[in-house]
Amino acid sequence: MNVWRLTAANTMSKETADPVPEEGKRRIRITKVFVNRSDALLFSGAKKVRYPRIPGRFAVGLIADEGSAHFPKGARVLLHTAFPAPCDGVQKRDFTEDDILLRGYTADGFLRDFVYVTEDELSLLPESVSDEKALLIQHIALANAAVEKLGLHRGEHVAVVGGSMLGIFICRLLIYRQISPILIDSDLRRTDFAKSCGVYYTAPEDGKLIETVGTITGGRLTDNAVCIMTGNMEMHCRTAVSVCKPGRGVAFCGQIDHPLPIDLNEILRKRLTLSGVSVGTEHIPAAINLVANGAIDLNVYRMNVCGADGAESVFREFLSRADIPVDEINILSLV
pLDDT digits (tens, 9 = 90+) for 277-299: 999 999 999 999 999 999 999 99
Mean pLDDT across the stretch 194-214?
A: 97
Q: Is the pLDDT of residue 179 over 90?
A: yes
Q: What are the beta bridge partners of residue 100?
A: 84
- Kindly report whether the peptide bond that precedes residue 126 is cis, defined as omega within 30 degrees of 0: no
Q: Name 206's Cβ contacts closer than 8 Å, sequence gap at least 6.
A: 186
pLDDT in tens, 80-130: 999 998 875 656 666 656 789 999 999 999 999 999 999 999 999 999 999
Mean per-residue pLDDT of the chain: 94
Q: What is the pLDDT of residue 95?
A: 60
Where are the chain's structural domains? 2-136+301-333, 140-277
Averaged pLDDT for residues 214-242:
96
Is 310 strand, coil or helix? Answer: helix
* Of residues 135, 55, 27, the one with CA closest to residue 315: 55
DSSP string, 147-181: HHHHT--TT-EEEEE--SHHHHHHHHHHHHTT-EE
**Rounded to whole angstroms, how far apart are CA atoms 150 and 224?**
7
Strand 122-124 and strand 273-277: pairing? Answer: unpaired
Same fold, 2-136+301-333 and 140-277: no
- The angle that helices 284-292 and 137-150 make with each other, rounded to 10 degrees, is 110
Express each pLDDT in 67-76 by its tens digit. 888 999 999 9
Q: Distances from the Cα of 169 to the Cαs of 73, 204, 321, in angstroms?
A: 32, 18, 24
Q: Identify the bridge partners of residue 12 per DSSP, sorted by sequence position.
A: 6
Per-residue confidence band for 324, with pLDDT thresholds at 50, 70 and 90: confident
Q: CA dist 226 to 147, 244, 248, Å?
A: 8, 9, 11
Q: How far apart are CA 157 and CA 180, in angstroms?
A: 5
Assign domain 140-277 to its CATH superfamily: NAD(P)-binding Rossmann-like Domain (3.40.50.720)
Domain 2-136+301-333: CATH architecture, name and number where available: Alpha-Beta Complex (3.90)
pLDDT at 48 over 60: yes
Non-local (6+) Cβ contacts of 174 within 8 A are 147, 152, 158, 160, 180, 181
Q: What's the one-letter identity of residue 242?
A: S
Q: How far apart are CA 279 and CA 168, in angstroms?
A: 17
Query: Three-class SS of residue 202?
Result: strand
As a whole number of angstroms, the distance between CA 13 and CA 5 comes to 5
pLDDT band for position 259 (50/70/90)?
A: confident
78 near 60, Cβ under 8 Å? yes
**Does pLDDT of 308 surpass 60?**
yes
User: Which residues pair with residue 183 across a beta bridge?
Assistant: 160, 202
